Each structure stands twice: as structure tokens, then as C-alpha cells.
Amino acid sequence: MKKSIILCAALLALASCKKNETEVKSEETVIEGPKDTAHIDSDTVSHTKAEPLEPQPEAPATEEKKAEKAEVIKANEPVKVAQVDYASFGDKISAEKALTKEQMLKRYNNLKSGDTINVKFTTHINDVCKKKGCWMSLELPDGKESFVKFKDYAFFVPLNAAGQDAVVSGKAFVSEISVSQLRHYAKDGGKSEEEIAKITKPEVTYGFLADGVLISK
């Protein structure tokens, strides 16, 4: 009887131990938010480190892109102005900011007979008075010319200045030259008798009264 009681007590103790035993299958991490509670199984979450992205090689520049880049660089380069050595006549003037012959023709085309404007422009000398150098004929676009005389006949230009480049400063105007004047100028310019005889009509000209002249050496 005593042995039966001891055996029963042992069985009861063994059952009590099994009831209190806790089986842990996994660890859970509990994250509580403002409204919800999230359970994360820490045994099943894997942590991986992000691999850095490898730099991609730059695509080779095409010929078109190279040309565009070259044009941008060229456009930003300072404009190189050719230095010209000039001889000065009349008032002292500068070649800076002188209009081109194309710009000057546009100014002339906006003038009416009797109008005058103060201006400075640069161009090529077509002809010069062969006797005293008291006038010049300057080149304009479209076969036109600007006829230049000097203010108050205060100065003249070299007789051999034809073919050189010039800068003139003064008053530009449009006027009509009579036949007699045209023939006189033609004679001074060394034209033949046949060429002078062909002058039979007055001519509307682009005149210029210069107070200062620069002629390339």
C-alpha cells in the first residue's frame, strides 16, 4: 500500500512538470504603434546589406556632340580684332566702333535728299583725286560708292591712296550731282575723253563730308 501511494505521488509530480513546461519555437519581437501592434518573427527576418551601385561608363561623344561643344567654346571666345597701322589726316579719330560698309549702305538708304547724319565707317578706297587728293571714292556694297570730300578743304589725302583701306568720320548725306560736276570729277580721276563723254545724266550719290580720315599704311 505504501508503495502504491509513492508511485501515485511520483506520477502527479511528473504531470505537473509537463504542464508548466514552456516550449519555445521562435522569438517574437513586438512593435507597438499608435493604433496597431505588429509581431515580427526575428528568426525569419534576414538582414542584407545593400550593395553600392557600380558607376556606369560614360557614352562616347558622337561627332555631332563634339561639333556642338566646339561651337559653344568658339562662341565664347573673345573676338580677335586685327591691328591695322593707319596714317591720320585731318582731325584725330579712332577706328573703334566704325560701321562696316554694309551697315553704312543701310544708313544711306534711310536718308532723303538734304538729310545728314554724323557717322564713322570703314571700307576700301576705290579712287582718289589724282591732282591734289581733294576727294575719295569709297566702296559700298552692290557696286555703289560713297563720294568723300574734306571739310573746309583743310586737308587732303595721298594721291596713291587708291586700293588702301580707310576709316572716315564726318557727315553722310544723299545728294544729286550735276553732269558738269560728274565730268569734272571724272577728269580729275584720270578718266579718258570717251569715258567722260558718256556722262550725260545727273546722278544721285551717297555723299560724305569728312573731318577726319585714317588710311592703312
Domains of the chain plus CATH, in order, are: 86-216 (2.40.50)
More confident residue, 108 or 175: 108
Q: Give the pLDDT of residue 194.
A: 94
Question: Is 214 a residue whose pLDDT tops 80?
Answer: yes
Q: Which of 156, 98, 89 is nearest to 128 (CA)?
A: 156
The DSSP annotation for 131-168 comes to SS--EEEEE-GGG-EEEEEEGGG-----TT-TTSEEEE
The contacts of residue 168 (CB under 8 Å, 6+ apart) are: 120, 121, 122, 136, 138, 148, 208, 210, 212, 213, 214
Over residues 62-68, mean pLDDT: 67
Q: Give the pLDDT of residue 122.
A: 97
Residue 148 CB neighbours (<10 A):
22
Q: What is the mean pLDDT of the chain?
A: 78
Taking the C-alpha atoms of residue 5 and residue 13, their distance in angstroms, rounded to an integer, is 12
Q: Give the pLDDT of residue 101.
A: 97
Over residues 3-14, mean pLDDT: 57
If you average pLDDT over each of 9-18, 35-44, 65-74, 153-162, which comes out highest?
153-162
Residue 123 CB neighbours (<10 A):
22
* Residue-wise pLDDT tens digits, 15-56: 554 544 444 444 444 444 444 444 444 444 444 454 555 655
Confidence of residue 64 (pLDDT cuts 50, 70, 90): low
Question: Is 118 a residue whose pLDDT tops 80?
Answer: yes
More confident residue, 87 or 175: 87
Over residues 151-170, mean pLDDT: 96
Question: Is 137 a residue whose pLDDT tops 80?
Answer: yes
Over residues 56-77, mean pLDDT: 60
Number of helices (H) and strands (E) in the chain: give both, helices first.
5, 8
Q: Which cell is 124 given?
A: 576700301
- Indicate the pairing of strand 145-150 with strand 28-32: unpaired
HSE value, Cβ hemisphere, 13 Å, CA-based, for 127:
15
Percent residues over pLDDT 70 in the chain = 62
